[in-house]
Chains A and B, each alone.
Chain A
Amino acid sequence: MSAAVVQAPTMASAPSLAPATVAGPVSQARVVRAEWTKLRGLRSTWWCGLSAVVLIVGLGAAIAEGGAPYKVTAANTAAMGISDSLLGLLFAQLMLGVVGVLAFSGEYGTGMIRATLAVVPSRLPVLWAKLIVLACLVLPVTLLCAVADFFTAAALESARGGSVLLLTEPGVLRTVVGSSLYLTVVVIIALALGGLLRKTAAGLAVFTAVFFVVPIVVGALPHSIQRFAAYLPSNAGGALWGNPLSTGSLLSPWTGFAVLCGYAVVLTAAAAWRLRRHDA
Protein backbone atom coordinates (compact mmCIF):
# COMPACT_ATOMS: atom_id res chain seq x y z
CA MET A 1 0.00 0.00 0.00
CA SER A 2 2.89 2.29 0.66
CA ALA A 3 4.44 1.32 -2.68
CA ALA A 4 1.90 3.38 -4.61
CA VAL A 5 2.99 6.52 -2.81
CA VAL A 6 6.65 5.99 -3.42
CA GLN A 7 6.84 5.10 -7.10
CA ALA A 8 7.53 8.83 -7.39
CA PRO A 9 10.47 10.17 -9.43
CA THR A 10 13.76 9.70 -7.66
CA MET A 11 14.88 13.26 -8.23
CA ALA A 12 13.10 14.95 -5.36
CA SER A 13 12.95 18.66 -4.92
CA ALA A 14 12.62 19.63 -1.29
CA PRO A 15 9.41 21.52 -0.61
CA SER A 16 10.10 24.72 1.25
CA LEU A 17 7.14 24.24 3.59
CA ALA A 18 7.56 22.08 6.66
CA PRO A 19 5.98 18.67 6.11
CA ALA A 20 2.77 17.76 7.87
CA THR A 21 2.87 16.37 11.40
CA VAL A 22 0.32 14.92 13.80
CA ALA A 23 2.42 15.39 16.93
CA GLY A 24 1.46 18.05 19.43
CA PRO A 25 3.51 19.52 22.24
CA VAL A 26 4.50 17.30 25.13
CA SER A 27 2.79 18.09 28.44
CA GLN A 28 2.81 16.61 31.92
CA ALA A 29 -0.78 15.41 31.50
CA ARG A 30 0.11 13.66 28.24
CA VAL A 31 3.12 11.94 29.77
CA VAL A 32 0.87 10.78 32.63
CA ARG A 33 -1.46 9.19 30.07
CA ALA A 34 1.54 7.56 28.41
CA GLU A 35 2.77 6.10 31.68
CA TRP A 36 -0.70 4.85 32.50
CA THR A 37 -0.78 3.10 29.11
CA LYS A 38 2.45 1.31 30.02
CA LEU A 39 1.49 0.35 33.56
CA ARG A 40 -1.95 -0.81 32.46
CA GLY A 41 -0.52 -2.85 29.60
CA LEU A 42 1.84 -4.91 31.74
CA ARG A 43 0.72 -8.21 33.20
CA SER A 44 3.02 -7.82 36.20
CA THR A 45 1.01 -4.81 37.34
CA TRP A 46 -2.20 -6.81 37.45
CA TRP A 47 -0.68 -9.87 39.07
CA CYS A 48 1.10 -7.89 41.76
CA GLY A 49 -1.93 -5.68 42.36
CA LEU A 50 -4.26 -8.64 42.63
CA SER A 51 -1.89 -10.43 45.01
CA ALA A 52 -1.70 -7.31 47.17
CA VAL A 53 -5.50 -7.08 47.40
CA VAL A 54 -5.91 -10.77 48.20
CA LEU A 55 -3.13 -10.71 50.77
CA ILE A 56 -4.38 -7.63 52.63
CA VAL A 57 -8.02 -8.66 52.84
CA GLY A 58 -7.57 -12.44 52.88
CA LEU A 59 -4.82 -12.51 55.46
CA GLY A 60 -6.74 -9.98 57.57
CA ALA A 61 -9.74 -12.32 57.62
CA ALA A 62 -7.54 -15.30 58.46
CA ILE A 63 -5.92 -13.44 61.34
CA ALA A 64 -9.27 -12.27 62.72
CA GLU A 65 -10.56 -15.81 62.43
CA GLY A 66 -7.54 -17.34 64.16
CA GLY A 67 -6.44 -16.98 67.79
CA ALA A 68 -8.58 -15.90 70.70
CA PRO A 69 -11.39 -13.38 70.06
CA TYR A 70 -9.95 -9.86 70.38
CA LYS A 71 -10.95 -8.04 73.58
CA VAL A 72 -10.38 -4.29 73.76
CA THR A 73 -8.61 -3.28 76.98
CA ALA A 74 -6.40 -0.38 78.05
CA ALA A 75 -3.33 -2.26 76.82
CA ASN A 76 -4.99 -3.69 73.69
CA THR A 77 -6.73 -0.84 71.94
CA ALA A 78 -9.21 -1.23 69.12
CA ALA A 79 -6.65 0.35 66.80
CA MET A 80 -4.12 -2.33 67.72
CA GLY A 81 -6.65 -5.01 66.89
CA ILE A 82 -7.08 -3.52 63.43
CA SER A 83 -3.31 -3.20 63.02
CA ASP A 84 -3.04 -6.94 63.69
CA SER A 85 -5.58 -7.68 60.99
CA LEU A 86 -3.62 -5.51 58.57
CA LEU A 87 -0.53 -7.72 58.79
CA GLY A 88 -1.11 -8.78 55.16
CA LEU A 89 0.18 -5.30 54.39
CA LEU A 90 3.70 -6.62 54.73
CA PHE A 91 3.13 -8.96 51.78
CA ALA A 92 1.36 -6.25 49.84
CA GLN A 93 4.34 -4.03 50.48
CA LEU A 94 6.58 -6.57 48.75
CA MET A 95 4.25 -6.89 45.77
CA LEU A 96 3.89 -3.15 45.39
CA GLY A 97 7.63 -2.76 45.84
CA VAL A 98 8.09 -5.00 42.81
CA VAL A 99 5.63 -2.91 40.79
CA GLY A 100 7.37 0.30 41.87
CA VAL A 101 10.92 -0.83 41.15
CA LEU A 102 9.91 -2.41 37.80
CA ALA A 103 8.09 0.71 36.67
CA PHE A 104 11.51 2.28 36.20
CA SER A 105 14.11 -0.49 36.10
CA GLY A 106 11.98 -2.48 33.67
CA GLU A 107 12.42 0.28 31.12
CA TYR A 108 16.17 0.33 31.56
CA GLY A 109 16.35 -3.45 31.42
CA THR A 110 14.41 -3.71 28.17
CA GLY A 111 15.80 -0.59 26.52
CA MET A 112 12.39 1.05 26.32
CA ILE A 113 13.75 3.95 28.32
CA ARG A 114 15.56 5.14 25.19
CA ALA A 115 12.29 5.31 23.28
CA THR A 116 10.61 6.99 26.25
CA LEU A 117 13.27 9.65 26.73
CA ALA A 118 13.63 10.22 23.00
CA VAL A 119 10.01 11.41 22.89
CA VAL A 120 10.23 13.26 26.22
CA PRO A 121 13.77 14.63 26.00
CA SER A 122 13.23 16.98 28.93
CA ARG A 123 13.07 13.73 30.93
CA LEU A 124 11.75 14.86 34.32
CA PRO A 125 8.08 14.71 33.26
CA VAL A 126 8.60 10.95 32.90
CA LEU A 127 9.55 10.59 36.56
CA TRP A 128 6.68 12.78 37.75
CA ALA A 129 4.25 10.89 35.53
CA LYS A 130 5.34 7.50 36.87
CA LEU A 131 5.01 8.85 40.39
CA ILE A 132 1.55 10.30 39.79
CA VAL A 133 0.25 7.18 38.03
CA LEU A 134 1.52 4.82 40.72
CA ALA A 135 0.25 6.97 43.58
CA CYS A 136 -3.15 7.44 41.94
CA LEU A 137 -3.41 3.68 41.44
CA VAL A 138 -2.07 2.48 44.79
CA LEU A 139 -3.75 4.99 47.10
CA PRO A 140 -7.40 4.25 46.23
CA VAL A 141 -6.87 0.53 45.75
CA THR A 142 -5.10 0.04 49.07
CA LEU A 143 -7.61 2.31 50.80
CA LEU A 144 -10.42 0.10 49.56
CA CYS A 145 -8.47 -2.95 50.71
CA ALA A 146 -7.91 -1.46 54.17
CA VAL A 147 -11.57 -0.53 54.54
CA ALA A 148 -12.63 -3.99 53.38
CA ASP A 149 -10.10 -5.50 55.76
CA PHE A 150 -11.50 -3.41 58.63
CA PHE A 151 -15.09 -4.44 58.04
CA THR A 152 -14.17 -8.08 57.52
CA ALA A 153 -12.09 -8.18 60.69
CA ALA A 154 -14.68 -6.27 62.73
CA ALA A 155 -17.48 -8.55 61.55
CA LEU A 156 -15.50 -11.71 62.22
CA GLU A 157 -14.38 -10.59 65.68
CA SER A 158 -17.84 -9.60 66.86
CA ALA A 159 -19.27 -12.82 65.40
CA ARG A 160 -16.75 -14.79 67.45
CA GLY A 161 -17.60 -12.93 70.63
CA GLY A 162 -14.76 -10.42 70.55
CA SER A 163 -15.14 -6.69 71.14
CA VAL A 164 -17.10 -4.60 68.65
CA LEU A 165 -14.48 -2.62 66.69
CA LEU A 166 -15.69 0.75 65.44
CA LEU A 167 -14.11 3.18 62.98
CA THR A 168 -14.90 5.97 65.42
CA GLU A 169 -12.73 4.61 68.23
CA PRO A 170 -9.43 6.46 68.80
CA GLY A 171 -6.76 5.66 66.25
CA VAL A 172 -8.86 3.21 64.20
CA LEU A 173 -9.55 5.51 61.28
CA ARG A 174 -5.91 6.65 61.36
CA THR A 175 -4.78 3.04 61.21
CA VAL A 176 -7.03 2.19 58.28
CA VAL A 177 -6.24 5.31 56.24
CA GLY A 178 -2.62 5.25 57.40
CA SER A 179 -2.03 1.76 56.03
CA SER A 180 -3.00 3.01 52.60
CA LEU A 181 -0.87 6.17 52.92
CA TYR A 182 2.03 4.00 54.06
CA LEU A 183 1.83 1.69 51.02
CA THR A 184 1.54 4.65 48.68
CA VAL A 185 4.72 6.23 50.00
CA VAL A 186 6.46 2.83 49.96
CA VAL A 187 5.65 2.36 46.28
CA ILE A 188 7.10 5.81 45.57
CA ILE A 189 10.28 4.83 47.41
CA ALA A 190 10.44 1.64 45.32
CA LEU A 191 9.96 3.67 42.13
CA ALA A 192 12.75 6.04 43.13
CA LEU A 193 15.05 3.08 43.88
CA GLY A 194 14.31 1.65 40.44
CA GLY A 195 15.13 4.97 38.80
CA LEU A 196 18.22 5.52 40.89
CA LEU A 197 19.72 2.03 40.51
CA ARG A 198 18.30 1.30 37.01
CA LYS A 199 18.73 -2.45 37.52
CA THR A 200 15.77 -4.56 38.62
CA ALA A 201 17.90 -6.94 40.69
CA ALA A 202 19.68 -4.10 42.47
CA GLY A 203 16.45 -2.19 43.08
CA LEU A 204 14.62 -5.19 44.50
CA ALA A 205 17.60 -6.23 46.61
CA VAL A 206 17.90 -2.81 48.21
CA PHE A 207 14.14 -2.54 48.67
CA THR A 208 13.91 -5.93 50.34
CA ALA A 209 16.94 -5.26 52.51
CA VAL A 210 15.61 -1.91 53.72
CA PHE A 211 12.05 -3.01 54.37
CA PHE A 212 12.45 -6.62 55.44
CA VAL A 213 15.99 -7.44 56.51
CA VAL A 214 17.43 -4.38 58.22
CA PRO A 215 14.51 -4.00 60.69
CA ILE A 216 15.12 -7.57 61.91
CA VAL A 217 18.90 -7.28 62.04
CA VAL A 218 18.76 -4.01 63.97
CA GLY A 219 16.99 -5.83 66.81
CA ALA A 220 20.16 -7.82 67.43
CA LEU A 221 22.43 -4.79 67.55
CA PRO A 222 23.61 -2.93 70.69
CA HIS A 223 21.10 -0.60 72.35
CA SER A 224 23.10 2.47 71.36
CA ILE A 225 22.30 1.64 67.73
CA GLN A 226 18.76 0.37 68.36
CA ARG A 227 17.77 3.89 69.33
CA PHE A 228 17.90 4.74 65.62
CA ALA A 229 15.69 1.81 64.67
CA ALA A 230 12.60 4.00 64.96
CA TYR A 231 13.90 6.03 62.03
CA LEU A 232 14.08 3.09 59.64
CA PRO A 233 11.51 3.60 56.88
CA SER A 234 9.46 0.55 57.82
CA ASN A 235 9.38 1.43 61.52
CA ALA A 236 8.82 5.16 60.98
CA GLY A 237 5.97 4.46 58.57
CA GLY A 238 4.80 1.54 60.69
CA ALA A 239 4.06 4.01 63.49
CA LEU A 240 1.19 5.39 61.41
CA TRP A 241 -0.63 2.10 60.91
CA GLY A 242 0.69 0.41 64.04
CA ASN A 243 2.82 -2.30 62.45
CA PRO A 244 2.59 -5.04 65.12
CA LEU A 245 6.02 -6.36 64.15
CA SER A 246 7.85 -3.05 64.73
CA THR A 247 10.44 -3.42 67.45
CA GLY A 248 11.63 -0.98 70.09
CA SER A 249 10.27 2.48 70.80
CA LEU A 250 8.42 4.17 67.98
CA LEU A 251 7.95 7.70 66.77
CA SER A 252 4.50 9.22 67.11
CA PRO A 253 2.26 8.23 64.15
CA TRP A 254 2.44 11.42 62.11
CA THR A 255 6.09 12.15 62.94
CA GLY A 256 6.91 8.65 61.79
CA PHE A 257 4.97 9.17 58.58
CA ALA A 258 6.76 12.48 58.01
CA VAL A 259 10.10 10.65 58.34
CA LEU A 260 8.93 8.06 55.79
CA CYS A 261 7.90 10.85 53.43
CA GLY A 262 11.34 12.38 54.00
CA TYR A 263 12.98 9.22 52.65
CA ALA A 264 10.67 9.29 49.64
CA VAL A 265 11.48 12.93 48.91
CA VAL A 266 15.25 12.41 49.19
CA LEU A 267 15.24 9.26 47.04
CA THR A 268 12.96 10.82 44.44
CA ALA A 269 15.23 13.86 44.27
CA ALA A 270 18.22 11.56 43.79
CA ALA A 271 16.38 9.64 41.05
CA ALA A 272 15.48 12.95 39.38
CA TRP A 273 19.09 14.06 39.51
CA ARG A 274 20.31 10.82 37.96
CA LEU A 275 17.62 10.85 35.27
CA ARG A 276 18.49 14.40 34.35
CA ARG A 277 22.25 14.23 34.53
CA HIS A 278 23.22 10.78 33.30
CA ASP A 279 23.17 9.32 29.81
CA ALA A 280 20.15 7.14 29.23
Chain B
Amino acid sequence: MIEIDGLTKRYGDKAAVDDLSFVVEPGVVTGFLGPNGAGKSTTMRLIAGLDRPTSGRVRVNGKFYPGAAAPMAELGILLDARSVHPGLSARNNLLALARTAGIGRRRVDEVIELAGLAEVAGTRAGGFSLGMGQRLGVAAALLGQPRTVVLDEPVNGLDPDGVRWIRLLLKSLADEGRTVFVSSHLMSEMAQTATRLVVLGRGKLITEASVEDFTNHAAAGGGVLVRTPETVRLGQVLAAPGVTVVNDGTDVIRVSGTTAEQIGAAAWQAHLPVYELTPTHASLEEAFMQVTRDSIEYHAGATR
Protein backbone atom coordinates (compact mmCIF):
# COMPACT_ATOMS: atom_id res chain seq x y z
CA MET B 1 0.00 0.00 0.00
CA ILE B 2 1.16 3.51 -0.79
CA GLU B 3 -0.32 6.40 1.16
CA ILE B 4 0.40 9.89 -0.08
CA ASP B 5 -0.70 12.72 2.13
CA GLY B 6 -0.46 16.42 1.28
CA LEU B 7 2.68 15.76 -0.76
CA THR B 8 4.39 18.82 -2.22
CA LYS B 9 7.73 19.06 -4.00
CA ARG B 10 9.06 22.39 -5.18
CA TYR B 11 12.09 22.98 -7.37
CA GLY B 12 12.80 26.65 -6.85
CA ASP B 13 9.38 28.28 -6.96
CA LYS B 14 7.90 25.74 -9.36
CA ALA B 15 5.79 23.07 -7.71
CA ALA B 16 6.36 19.77 -9.52
CA VAL B 17 3.93 18.09 -7.14
CA ASP B 18 1.34 20.19 -5.41
CA ASP B 19 -0.52 19.04 -2.29
CA LEU B 20 -1.12 15.54 -3.61
CA SER B 21 -3.11 13.02 -1.56
CA PHE B 22 -4.20 9.55 -2.61
CA VAL B 23 -3.90 5.92 -1.63
CA VAL B 24 -2.76 3.01 -3.78
CA GLU B 25 -4.32 -0.21 -2.52
CA PRO B 26 -2.79 -3.68 -2.68
CA GLY B 27 -4.26 -6.45 -4.78
CA VAL B 28 -5.11 -4.35 -7.82
CA VAL B 29 -3.15 -2.59 -10.53
CA THR B 30 -3.37 1.17 -10.15
CA GLY B 31 -2.57 3.27 -13.17
CA PHE B 32 -0.92 6.65 -12.80
CA LEU B 33 -1.84 8.94 -15.67
CA GLY B 34 -0.95 12.41 -16.66
CA PRO B 35 0.58 14.38 -19.50
CA ASN B 36 4.32 14.91 -19.68
CA GLY B 37 5.52 17.17 -16.91
CA ALA B 38 2.49 16.42 -14.74
CA GLY B 39 4.73 15.25 -11.92
CA LYS B 40 4.35 11.47 -12.24
CA SER B 41 8.07 10.72 -12.16
CA THR B 42 8.65 13.20 -9.34
CA THR B 43 5.92 11.50 -7.32
CA MET B 44 7.55 8.12 -7.90
CA ARG B 45 10.95 9.47 -6.86
CA LEU B 46 9.35 10.83 -3.70
CA ILE B 47 7.81 7.41 -3.01
CA ALA B 48 11.26 5.80 -3.24
CA GLY B 49 12.79 8.47 -1.01
CA LEU B 50 15.15 9.60 -3.77
CA ASP B 51 13.81 13.13 -3.50
CA ARG B 52 12.76 14.71 -0.27
CA PRO B 53 9.29 16.25 -0.15
CA THR B 54 9.03 19.98 0.52
CA SER B 55 6.03 19.09 2.68
CA GLY B 56 3.64 16.23 3.19
CA ARG B 57 4.51 12.59 3.58
CA VAL B 58 4.62 9.24 1.85
CA ARG B 59 4.06 5.88 3.50
CA VAL B 60 4.97 2.62 1.79
CA ASN B 61 3.24 -0.38 3.36
CA GLY B 62 2.44 1.85 6.32
CA LYS B 63 6.05 2.85 6.92
CA PHE B 64 8.46 5.66 6.16
CA TYR B 65 10.39 3.95 3.36
CA PRO B 66 13.92 5.30 4.01
CA GLY B 67 13.65 3.86 7.51
CA ALA B 68 12.68 0.37 6.32
CA ALA B 69 14.83 -2.46 7.70
CA ALA B 70 14.48 -4.55 4.53
CA PRO B 71 13.88 -2.00 1.75
CA MET B 72 13.89 -4.53 -1.08
CA ALA B 73 11.12 -6.49 0.60
CA GLU B 74 8.99 -3.36 0.76
CA LEU B 75 9.47 -1.61 -2.56
CA GLY B 76 10.74 -2.41 -6.03
CA ILE B 77 10.94 0.49 -8.42
CA LEU B 78 11.62 1.13 -12.09
CA LEU B 79 12.36 4.77 -12.80
CA ASP B 80 11.82 6.29 -16.20
CA ALA B 81 15.39 7.30 -16.84
CA ARG B 82 17.97 4.57 -17.26
CA SER B 83 19.25 3.63 -13.85
CA VAL B 84 21.72 0.91 -14.72
CA HIS B 85 25.48 1.07 -15.07
CA PRO B 86 26.38 0.68 -18.76
CA GLY B 87 29.82 -0.71 -17.84
CA LEU B 88 28.37 -3.57 -15.81
CA SER B 89 26.77 -6.67 -17.27
CA ALA B 90 23.05 -7.14 -16.78
CA ARG B 91 23.79 -9.84 -14.23
CA ASN B 92 26.22 -7.71 -12.25
CA ASN B 93 23.82 -4.77 -12.27
CA LEU B 94 21.20 -7.00 -10.68
CA LEU B 95 23.66 -8.79 -8.41
CA ALA B 96 24.92 -5.48 -7.00
CA LEU B 97 21.37 -4.58 -5.97
CA ALA B 98 20.61 -8.10 -4.75
CA ARG B 99 23.64 -8.20 -2.45
CA THR B 100 22.30 -5.32 -0.35
CA ALA B 101 19.44 -7.55 0.76
CA GLY B 102 21.35 -10.82 0.93
CA ILE B 103 19.62 -12.08 -2.21
CA GLY B 104 21.61 -14.80 -3.94
CA ARG B 105 22.55 -15.57 -7.52
CA ARG B 106 19.67 -18.02 -7.89
CA ARG B 107 17.07 -15.31 -7.53
CA VAL B 108 19.10 -13.04 -9.84
CA ASP B 109 19.10 -15.73 -12.53
CA GLU B 110 15.40 -16.23 -11.91
CA VAL B 111 14.50 -12.60 -12.68
CA ILE B 112 16.89 -12.60 -15.64
CA GLU B 113 14.94 -15.56 -17.00
CA LEU B 114 11.63 -13.91 -16.15
CA ALA B 115 12.61 -10.74 -18.01
CA GLY B 116 13.78 -12.71 -21.02
CA LEU B 117 17.38 -11.54 -20.67
CA ALA B 118 19.05 -14.94 -20.26
CA GLU B 119 20.97 -14.66 -23.53
CA VAL B 120 22.40 -11.23 -22.77
CA ALA B 121 22.91 -11.56 -19.02
CA GLY B 122 26.69 -11.43 -19.37
CA THR B 123 26.69 -8.50 -21.79
CA ARG B 124 27.44 -4.98 -20.68
CA ALA B 125 24.19 -3.08 -20.23
CA GLY B 126 25.56 -0.11 -22.18
CA GLY B 127 24.87 -1.91 -25.44
CA PHE B 128 21.23 -2.65 -24.62
CA SER B 129 18.34 -1.35 -26.67
CA LEU B 130 15.71 0.74 -24.91
CA GLY B 131 13.47 -2.31 -24.67
CA MET B 132 16.19 -4.49 -23.15
CA GLY B 133 17.05 -1.69 -20.73
CA GLN B 134 13.40 -1.59 -19.68
CA ARG B 135 13.36 -5.35 -19.16
CA LEU B 136 16.48 -5.06 -17.02
CA GLY B 137 14.89 -2.27 -14.99
CA VAL B 138 11.75 -4.33 -14.45
CA ALA B 139 13.89 -7.31 -13.42
CA ALA B 140 15.60 -5.06 -10.86
CA ALA B 141 12.25 -3.92 -9.48
CA LEU B 142 11.14 -7.53 -9.02
CA LEU B 143 14.40 -8.83 -7.49
CA GLY B 144 13.34 -8.69 -3.85
CA GLN B 145 9.75 -9.83 -4.46
CA PRO B 146 8.62 -6.55 -2.91
CA ARG B 147 5.19 -5.96 -1.39
CA THR B 148 4.89 -2.80 -3.46
CA VAL B 149 5.98 -2.43 -7.08
CA VAL B 150 6.27 1.00 -8.69
CA LEU B 151 6.98 1.17 -12.41
CA ASP B 152 7.43 4.39 -14.34
CA GLU B 153 6.39 3.90 -17.98
CA PRO B 154 7.37 0.23 -18.10
CA VAL B 155 6.08 -0.34 -21.64
CA ASN B 156 8.21 2.49 -23.03
CA GLY B 157 10.29 1.10 -25.86
CA LEU B 158 8.93 -2.43 -25.55
CA ASP B 159 7.79 -4.44 -28.55
CA PRO B 160 4.22 -5.86 -28.59
CA ASP B 161 5.54 -9.03 -26.99
CA GLY B 162 7.09 -7.03 -24.18
CA VAL B 163 3.93 -4.98 -23.70
CA ARG B 164 1.95 -8.18 -23.33
CA TRP B 165 4.54 -9.52 -20.90
CA ILE B 166 4.25 -6.41 -18.73
CA ARG B 167 0.46 -6.54 -18.80
CA LEU B 168 0.36 -10.14 -17.60
CA LEU B 169 3.12 -9.52 -15.10
CA LEU B 170 1.32 -6.60 -13.47
CA LYS B 171 -1.87 -8.61 -13.13
CA SER B 172 -0.07 -11.58 -11.60
CA LEU B 173 1.71 -9.31 -9.11
CA ALA B 174 -1.61 -7.79 -8.08
CA ASP B 175 -3.17 -11.25 -7.85
CA GLU B 176 -0.44 -12.19 -5.38
CA GLY B 177 -1.67 -9.36 -3.18
CA ARG B 178 1.08 -6.90 -4.01
CA THR B 179 0.54 -3.20 -4.51
CA VAL B 180 1.14 -2.31 -8.15
CA PHE B 181 1.47 1.32 -9.18
CA VAL B 182 2.31 1.94 -12.78
CA SER B 183 2.51 5.12 -14.80
CA SER B 184 1.78 5.37 -18.48
CA HIS B 185 0.80 7.86 -21.09
CA LEU B 186 -0.89 5.10 -23.07
CA MET B 187 -4.49 5.24 -21.87
CA SER B 188 -5.50 2.26 -23.97
CA GLU B 189 -2.78 0.24 -22.27
CA MET B 190 -4.05 1.29 -18.85
CA ALA B 191 -7.61 0.39 -19.80
CA GLN B 192 -6.49 -3.19 -20.34
CA THR B 193 -4.22 -3.45 -17.34
CA ALA B 194 -5.32 -1.20 -14.51
CA THR B 195 -8.30 -1.51 -12.23
CA ARG B 196 -7.98 1.91 -10.64
CA LEU B 197 -6.67 5.17 -12.00
CA VAL B 198 -4.98 8.15 -10.43
CA VAL B 199 -4.91 11.06 -12.86
CA LEU B 200 -2.45 13.87 -12.40
CA GLY B 201 -2.22 17.25 -14.14
CA ARG B 202 0.26 20.00 -13.36
CA GLY B 203 1.29 18.32 -10.14
CA LYS B 204 -2.26 18.18 -8.83
CA LEU B 205 -4.64 15.28 -8.44
CA ILE B 206 -7.33 15.55 -11.10
CA THR B 207 -9.26 12.42 -10.37
CA GLU B 208 -9.01 9.11 -8.62
CA ALA B 209 -11.45 6.56 -10.00
CA SER B 210 -11.92 3.03 -11.15
CA VAL B 211 -11.16 2.48 -14.82
CA GLU B 212 -14.82 1.54 -15.27
CA ASP B 213 -16.09 4.86 -13.93
CA PHE B 214 -13.55 6.71 -15.95
CA THR B 215 -14.54 4.87 -19.14
CA ASN B 216 -18.25 5.43 -18.46
CA HIS B 217 -17.54 9.08 -17.99
CA ALA B 218 -15.68 8.94 -21.27
CA ALA B 219 -18.58 7.15 -23.02
CA ALA B 220 -20.99 9.82 -21.79
CA GLY B 221 -18.78 12.36 -23.41
CA GLY B 222 -19.04 10.50 -26.70
CA GLY B 223 -22.08 10.66 -28.89
CA VAL B 224 -23.72 9.39 -32.00
CA LEU B 225 -22.82 10.32 -35.54
CA VAL B 226 -25.89 10.63 -37.76
CA ARG B 227 -25.76 11.02 -41.52
CA THR B 228 -28.99 12.37 -42.89
CA PRO B 229 -30.04 14.79 -45.64
CA GLU B 230 -32.42 16.38 -43.10
CA THR B 231 -29.86 17.57 -40.60
CA VAL B 232 -31.83 20.64 -39.51
CA ARG B 233 -35.18 18.90 -39.10
CA LEU B 234 -33.68 15.94 -37.28
CA GLY B 235 -31.91 18.38 -34.98
CA GLN B 236 -35.26 19.97 -34.19
CA VAL B 237 -36.88 16.59 -33.55
CA LEU B 238 -34.10 15.56 -31.17
CA ALA B 239 -33.97 18.85 -29.28
CA ALA B 240 -34.43 18.15 -25.58
CA PRO B 241 -32.77 19.20 -22.32
CA GLY B 242 -29.35 17.60 -22.03
CA VAL B 243 -29.16 16.73 -25.71
CA THR B 244 -26.71 18.60 -27.88
CA VAL B 245 -26.62 18.48 -31.63
CA VAL B 246 -23.60 19.66 -33.51
CA ASN B 247 -23.57 19.91 -37.26
CA ASP B 248 -20.04 19.09 -38.14
CA GLY B 249 -20.41 18.33 -41.85
CA THR B 250 -22.68 18.84 -44.76
CA ASP B 251 -24.94 15.87 -43.97
CA VAL B 252 -23.50 14.66 -40.68
CA ILE B 253 -24.54 15.68 -37.19
CA ARG B 254 -23.04 14.63 -33.88
CA VAL B 255 -25.62 14.05 -31.20
CA SER B 256 -24.72 13.61 -27.56
CA GLY B 257 -26.86 13.09 -24.48
CA THR B 258 -29.02 10.39 -26.04
CA THR B 259 -28.63 6.95 -27.52
CA ALA B 260 -28.52 5.64 -31.07
CA GLU B 261 -31.76 3.70 -30.40
CA GLN B 262 -33.63 6.84 -29.39
CA ILE B 263 -32.33 8.77 -32.38
CA GLY B 264 -33.31 5.98 -34.74
CA ALA B 265 -36.81 5.76 -33.25
CA ALA B 266 -37.26 9.53 -33.34
CA ALA B 267 -36.13 9.72 -36.97
CA TRP B 268 -38.53 6.91 -37.94
CA GLN B 269 -41.46 8.61 -36.20
CA ALA B 270 -40.68 11.90 -37.96
CA HIS B 271 -40.27 10.09 -41.30
CA LEU B 272 -36.72 11.41 -41.72
CA PRO B 273 -34.27 9.29 -43.70
CA VAL B 274 -31.11 8.23 -41.91
CA TYR B 275 -28.21 6.79 -43.91
CA GLU B 276 -25.86 6.16 -41.07
CA LEU B 277 -26.14 5.92 -37.29
CA THR B 278 -22.86 5.36 -35.47
CA PRO B 279 -22.41 5.45 -31.70
CA THR B 280 -18.95 6.82 -30.94
CA HIS B 281 -17.38 6.21 -27.59
CA ALA B 282 -14.89 8.82 -26.65
CA SER B 283 -11.84 6.74 -26.00
CA LEU B 284 -10.16 6.70 -22.64
CA GLU B 285 -7.55 8.74 -24.43
CA GLU B 286 -10.06 11.47 -25.21
CA ALA B 287 -11.54 11.40 -21.72
CA PHE B 288 -8.05 11.77 -20.36
CA MET B 289 -7.27 14.66 -22.69
CA GLN B 290 -10.51 16.26 -21.62
CA VAL B 291 -9.88 16.07 -17.87
CA THR B 292 -6.28 17.16 -18.14
CA ARG B 293 -7.13 19.99 -20.53
CA ASP B 294 -9.65 21.21 -17.97
CA SER B 295 -6.97 21.25 -15.30
CA ILE B 296 -4.57 23.13 -17.52
CA GLU B 297 -7.24 25.70 -18.35
CA TYR B 298 -8.13 26.00 -14.70
CA HIS B 299 -4.49 26.63 -13.85
CA ALA B 300 -3.97 29.12 -16.64
CA GLY B 301 -7.04 30.98 -15.37
CA ALA B 302 -5.94 30.85 -11.76
CA THR B 303 -2.51 32.26 -12.43
CA ARG B 304 -3.91 34.86 -14.86
Give the B-binding residues of A (Cβ under 8 A): 1-3, 5-6, 8, 10, 12-27, 30-31, 33-35, 37-38, 41-44, 106-107, 110-123, 279-280
User: What are 10 of the A-B contact pairs (CB < 8 Å)?
Assistant: A13-B27, A15-B27, A21-B70, A23-B146, A25-B102, A110-B84, A111-B82, A118-B77, A119-B71, A120-B71
Q: Whole-angstrom distance from the CB of B249 to the nearest CB of chain A?
A: 40
Q: Do B49 and A114 touch across chains, with their CB atoms under 8 A apart?
A: no
Interface hub of B65, B81, B101, B140 (most chain A Cβ within 10 A): B101
Verify if B57 is at the interface (C-beta below 8 Å from A).
no
CB neighbours of B168 from chain A (8 A): 2-3, 6
B86 touches A110 (CB 8 A): yes
Report chain A residues within 8 Å CB of B73: 21, 23-24
Interface assignment of B299: CB less than 8 Å from any CB of chain A: no
B218 within 8 A of A: no
CA A33 – CA B25 in complex, angstroms? 34
* B contact residues vs A (CB 8 Å cutoff): 25-28, 45, 48-52, 65-73, 75, 77, 79, 81-89, 92-93, 95-103, 107, 113-114, 140, 143-147, 165, 168-169, 171-172, 174-178
Closest to A41 in B: B92
Q: Which of B27, B50, B88 contacts A14, CB < 8 Å? A: B27
A116 touching B97 in the complex, CB below 8 Å, given contacts A14-B26, A20-B145? yes
A15 to B109, CA, bound (A): 27
Given contacts A12-B28, A18-B177, A26-B101, contact A38 B69 (CB under 8 A): no
- Closest-by-CB residue of A relative to B102 is A24
Chain A contacts for B171, CB-based, 8 A = 6, 8, 10, 12
**A residues near B84, Cβ cutoff 8 Å:** 110-112, 115
- The answer, among B26, B51, B79, for a CB contact under 8 Å with A279, is B51
Chain B nearest CB from A19 CB (Å) reads 5
User: How many angstroms between the C-alpha atoms of A121 and B77 in the bound complex?
Assistant: 12
Q: Taking A22-B145, A110-B86, A116-B97 as given, write out 10 further A-B residue pairs in contact, using a Cβ cutoff of 8 Å, ordered by the A residue number.
A: A14-B177, A19-B176, A20-B176, A22-B103, A24-B73, A30-B102, A37-B95, A41-B87, A111-B82, A279-B50
Which residues of chain A are near B140, meaning CB under 8 Å?
115
Bound CA span A114–B169, Å: 23
B172 touches A119 (CB 8 A): no
Q: A23-B143, A26-B101, A279-B51 are in contact. Are A119 and B72 (CB under 8 A)?
A: yes
CB within 8 Å for A112 and B83 given contacts A2-B165, A22-B144, A23-B73: yes
A15 touches B101 (CB 8 A): no
Q: Are A12 and B71 in contact (CB under 8 A)?
A: no
A41, B93: Cα distance in complex, Å: 9
